[in-house]
Structure 1
Amino acid sequence: MNHLAPARPATADTLPRPAQARLWRRSGPVALWLFAVVPFGLALFTAVRAPKMHVLLDYWHVLAKITDDNGDLLFGQVFTYHLDQPFVLPSLMFWADAAWFGGDNRVLTILTVLLTAGIVACLYSMLPDSLSTTTKTVVVAGFSWLLFTSHAAELWLQGTNGISWIPAVFFCVLAIACAHRGRSWTAGISAALGCLSFGAALPIWFVLALIAWLRKDSRLRVLIPGVTGVLVVTAWFLTKPSGQHSLATSAFDPDGRLSVLAAALGGLWSADIAVVAVIAGGITIAALVYLAREASPRVSGWIALATYAILLAGMLALGRTTDQVPGGNVGLISRYAVIGALATSALLALAAINRPQWPLRELLIGTAAAALVTHAIGGAKAERVRHDYAPLSLAAIALRVDAPTVLDTLHIQRAAAPAARSLGAYPFNDTFTLGCGGPELGTHLSTPAPLPHGTEPGNTRGETSMPPAGDTVLSGWATIGGTRADCVLVVDQNNVVVGGGLIGLPSSAARTKTPAPEGMAWQAVAPAGTAIGGIIAVKAGTLYRLQPQE
């Protein structure tokens, strides 16, 4: 008796080649678009979960400068320089965030992510119609992974960094995309908005002139942006304040400056080893020069984008060069990862356009490998950024209770507090909390049980270094049932809550005799002139009094 074997279900591997091709045409682009959206989702997730508090000096310095104590905008101050550079649009965004959105850092981090998505969209618009839909999708997925890289974590964690830097880059890329399509007036308006955002836009006029020359536009279209660039840079140089800003140096250091330039361009390939980034930057420049040899109007925007990235790296090298940063090279700082992302995006586009004979499979594999590898490398940098920023959130409580010495330690402009209070900006609004699920400033607590000292056995113990008065950074650690406390409170001698702090910090944050278990450290603050009665750790509603170190 003959038995028929059961039919095998059809899969992509068992289909005939024409059928496989049809299957890829239907499902391949969808999968690639999903792949492209992943890094955007990761960055947006980080931005949404970012701290509510603005913890960086620049935000509070600018807010103090552009507002009076009633929170009213001092419009003339908006046009003054910040860090020796124009800062008009970011200043307005800082004020709008404080006045309209309760001073929520997350509003600006989300806006940063959306502006970066706008950069990706501008780059996509520059891809020629001669490329297949699949090739375009592969390339735009590469753009997305490069620009939403984990290296740039501080842009998604603190809106001050993002809004100080990304709007200028967005308007410059928009200007390049418009000029690439021959829309000179729109490009000029975008470039002007970029120059009102930050000094990162100052070279854009020369880049627009380059595009016009590569497109073989009229001589007038080449001269107008070039002359405008000369006038803009001259006006900036003659009006900028004298003196040096943070990380700047006037030392004659060609080797160091060249190292910063190359590291900025190759920073996606190293988290903290400068020499790797420098080598990667050198390779990136060489590859760009090689692929840009076949210049034509259809690649004018991509050559211009590469030029803009190199000019940005050069400006960084001229303006900021010091070894007093992680990795010993300014080019490795998280927020400057966008420079290398732009350069590598230009490289990817030029490879796809000028080398159409390269198989699509190799382009896909190479793009995916570069995207995933650089993102994985950046994980270490992102973790370091989170580690460094975590203790700075103590600024919210320090501002609320008014601890000037601690604010100076955290580099927060205390002069901005009256304006923030008048505007109802965080931490001066009803959304402020000590995070204990009940006790807040002014709450009278019942007498808490003492928590065993750090030298005692068991998994419920803790320790604190407690001075007699407030306005200093209090620190210690606590582990309750082997886990960290929910929060810490500072009470006066009548057990009234007068301050609070952060829990779950790195062990180095606890300045105690007994080393803190990792993740169990805390820092707290109380108002100036307050006699401190004790530090209270709270776990599941139970209060524990921490013992001072002996």
Structure 2
Amino acid sequence: MVVDVSAQPEQSELPPPVAPKRPRWHFVLWGLVVLPGILALGEAYRSPRLNFADYWSIVARVTTPEGGLRFGELWMLHNDHPSVLVSIVFWANARFFGGTNYGLGFACVGLAAIMLIAMISMLPKHLTGVRRIVVSAGISVLLFSSTATEYFGIGMSGMHWLLGIVPAVTALAFAHRGWTVPAMILAVLASLGHGAGFPVWIALALVAWLRKDAVWRQILPIVLGLVTFVIWMLPARPPGFAAPMLLGVDTYLGSGLAMLGQIWAGKALDLAFVGGALMVGLFTVLATGSVKDRRSDDAGWLGAALLTVLVAVMIGLSRGKYGAMDGLSPRYAMVALVCAAALLVLSVIRWPKLKVVPVVLVIALATYAVGNAQAGAVREKYPMQPFLAVAMLVDAKGQMARMQATPNVLPVLQSLRLYPFTDDFTLGCKAGPDGPELGDKVDLSKATALPLPKHGEGFTSGAVEVGPVVGDALISGWASINGNAADCVLIVDQNGEVVGGGAVGIPRGDIMQFTHATGRAGWIAVAKPGTKDGAVLVLSRGVVYKVAELPR
């Protein structure tokens, strides 16, 4: 029997399956992943133009007077840490990007964003939908937490630590997927960036073991780690000094635990101890299960947690001699935040029934709020930088040293025309284009005497609290004009020549307790060396006021 195929009824073609549409509010949740990074960019934007502390000594060491790079100096240890990458970055910042602090801050935000992407890439495939987005947002809030404000507001500090931590975490992300070669390359970069990157070799070996990789992939990180340690031991070191206090095991333990627990404690040392101990306890519980079952999904996350715990051990042993309080330093914050992020993800993977949304919400909000104490301490340093700028311009080396800026950097700044040795530098007097600047003359006979304060009276008053008004000394006080802070502060000699200046808008909440003044009425100033019997002037809307010293 012959079947006529053409005579059979046509079968209707089924339309291809339509993928379920993602709810629009998913885009809102992804916006929460991006928002913390935007806030960090805002912090970098509001930070001072002038750099801080270690930046100056490194730039002075690695930069020639003509702006070239001293390659031999790259291999010098800085505070016992490798400084190859940070030296190159600081030199490039000075040579090509104006030597700005906020430039480094923006770069630190970019580095943290790279680490965020690397960590999100390690999330297991079975973590989908809202749970995946919420966990990603939680990681973002932790990495860009207010506790980490120093990394974005003081770019020098952030660059030091992130050049070790970010390559290390990214190396673990590559190893998590079995990409050994790029992981090794990034681990080398981490070891050249900062001492915080050293434990990555042990973490990489753990990741390879959990993944049941080939034996050589498990052994190679240990071998390279030993080589790194030997190379680190080679450079000569200055002689050490005895600890400034009597120490015990509890001191070292407390320093390490405080470093991990600071993100839950603000400035409360006891809470930091408890928070750090809880994090170590949770790490132990999670690590035991991961190692026992050799969970490959946990590999990169357990590696990141191990990395940070080992860094805490290093900090405890190396910095414990300065007391456990040193563990609360905000420069360690990112280590603790990465640890918290890794433990959060491991907990979500281990306990699928965990209520992810409320848990992440509580951790994110609590961490961001508690970080306010650390953020506030960092922001208090911002208004001080104009003082350092003037000290550099008038060659007040004593005050430069007090603010941890080596005078050796001055020839480099002058040669490269870096701020404050730029045409746009100003003392900020806002009196039109002809506001007084260094070297100008002010007619002292036209200056209005600023009244000394009387308890609870007047909106216009002020005083020099720390003097005398001489060269290369810290001069400070406060001034309120109609309840507002002054536009600028000047130091003039007896002839009325402007020989110094400084910073206004310094927080002084104590002044509000006895007068009608803003809480930002403080000022600090410095004059060029050799100045004697100078006078302090403040300007507000072009009006010059002479500030008297408090009676002694």
Aligned residue type for 2:426: T
Percent identical: 37
For 1:54-453, list aligned pairs within 5 A: 54-56=51-53, 58-239=54-235, 241-244=237-240, 253-292=248-287, 293-294=289-290, 295-322=294-321, 329-358=325-354, 362-388=355-381, 390-437=383-430, 438-446=435-443, 447-453=446-452
* Residue equivalent to 1:470: 471
Query: SS where residue 345 of structure 1 aligns?
Result: helix
Aligned residue type for 2:208: A
Aligned residue type for 1:490: I
* Residue equivalent to 2:35: 38
Q: 1:233 to 1:516 in 2, by over 3 A?
A: farther
Q: Distance in 1 between matches of 2:24 and 2:214?
A: 45
Q: 1:250 to 1:229 in 2, by over 3 A?
A: farther
Query: SS where residue 313 of structure 1 aligns?
Result: helix
Kindly state the Cα deviation for residue 514 of structure 1 after the two structures are TM-superposed.
11
Is 2:478–2:522's contact at 8 Å kept on the other side of the alignment? yes
Query: SS where residue 251 of structure 2 aligns?
Result: helix
Kindly state the Cα deviation for residue 161 of structure 1 after the two structures are TM-superposed.
0.3
TM-score scaled by length of structure 2: 0.89
Unaligned runs of 5+ in 2: 1-19
Q: Distance in 2 between matches of 1:468 and 1:40?
A: 44
Query: SS where residue 196 of structure 1 aligns?
Result: helix
Is 1:248–1:321's contact at 8 Å kept on the other side of the alignment? no
Unaligned runs of 5+ in 1: 1-21
Aligned residue type for 1:441: L
Query: SS where residue 220 of structure 1 aligns?
Result: helix
Aligned residue type for 1:44: L
Q: Distance in 1 between matches of 2:157 and 2:108?
A: 9
Aligned residue type for 1:478: A
* Residue equivalent to 1:10: none
- The Cα offsets for residues 45-84 of structure 1, whole Å up to 9 and x where unpaired, read as 011110001131x111111111233333211111211111
Aligned residue type for 2:418: A
Q: 1:329 to 1:533 in 2, by over 3 A?
A: closer
Is 2:245–2:321's contact at 8 Å kept on the other side of the alignment? no
Q: Distance in 2 between matches of 1:514 and 1:323?
A: 40
Is 2:442–2:498's contact at 8 Å kept on the other side of the alignment? yes
Q: Distance in 2 between matches of 1:305 and 1:202?
A: 13
Q: Distance in 2 between matches of 1:282 and 1:342?
A: 16
Aligned residue type for 1:264: M
- The Cα offsets for residues 185-218 of structure 1, whole Å up to 9 and x where unpaired, read as 0001101111111111111111111111111111
Is 1:47–1:106's contact at 8 Å kept on the other side of the alignment? yes
Kindly state the Cα deviation for residue 375 of structure 1 after the two structures are TM-superposed.
0.7
Aligned residue type for 2:153: L
Aligned residue type for 2:295: S
* Residue equivalent to 2:498: 497
Query: SS where residue 114 of structure 2 aligns?
Result: helix
Q: 1:76 to 1:498 in 2, by over 3 A?
A: same
Larger radius of gyration: 2
Kindly state the Cα deviation for residue 387 of structure 1 after the two structures are TM-superposed.
2.1
- The Cα offsets for residues 445-491 of structure 1, whole Å up to 9 and x where unpaired, read as 23322212234952211112543531111112111111111111112
Kindly state the Cα deviation for residue 519 of structure 1 after the two structures are TM-superposed.
2.5
Query: SS where residue 239 of structure 1 aligns?
Result: coil
Q: Distance in 1 between matches of 2:507 and 2:462?
A: 15
Q: 1:251 to 1:166 in 2, by over 3 A?
A: farther
Kindly state the Cα deviation for residue 276 of structure 1 after the two structures are TM-superposed.
1.1
Query: SS where residue 525 of structure 1 aligns?
Result: strand
Aligned residue type for 2:367: T
RMSD of aligned alpha carbons:
2.4
Aligned residue type for 1:391: M
* Residue equivalent to 1:49: 46
Kindly state the Cα deviation for residue 233 of structure 1 after the two structures are TM-superposed.
1.0
- The Cα offsets for residues 231-263 of structure 1, whole Å up to 9 and x where unpaired, read as 211221243514349x97897632111112222
Q: Distance in 1 between matches of 2:336 and 2:401?
A: 34
Q: 1:435 to 1:376 in 2, by over 3 A?
A: same
Q: Distance in 1 between matches of 2:348 and 2:498?
A: 63
Is 1:153–1:335's contact at 8 Å kept on the other side of the alignment? no
Q: Distance in 1 between matches of 2:314 and 2:243?
A: 11
Q: Distance in 2 between matches of 1:250 and 1:470?
A: 36
Kindly state the Cα deviation for residue 289 of structure 1 after the two structures are TM-superposed.
2.5
Aligned residue type for 1:26: P
Is 1:85–1:240's contact at 8 Å kept on the other side of the alignment? no
Aligned residue type for 1:273: A
Aligned residue type for 2:37: F
Kindly state the Cα deviation for residue 425 of structure 1 after the two structures are TM-superposed.
1.5
Is 2:76–2:235's contact at 8 Å kept on the other side of the alignment? no
Q: 1:106 to 1:322 in 2, by over 3 A?
A: same
The worse-fitting range, judged by mean Cα deviation, of 181-190 and 261-270 is 261-270
Is 2:67–2:412's contact at 8 Å kept on the other side of the alignment? yes
Q: 1:248 to 1:389 in 2, by over 3 A?
A: farther
Is 1:507–1:516's contact at 8 Å kept on the other side of the alignment? no
Aligned residue type for 1:88: V
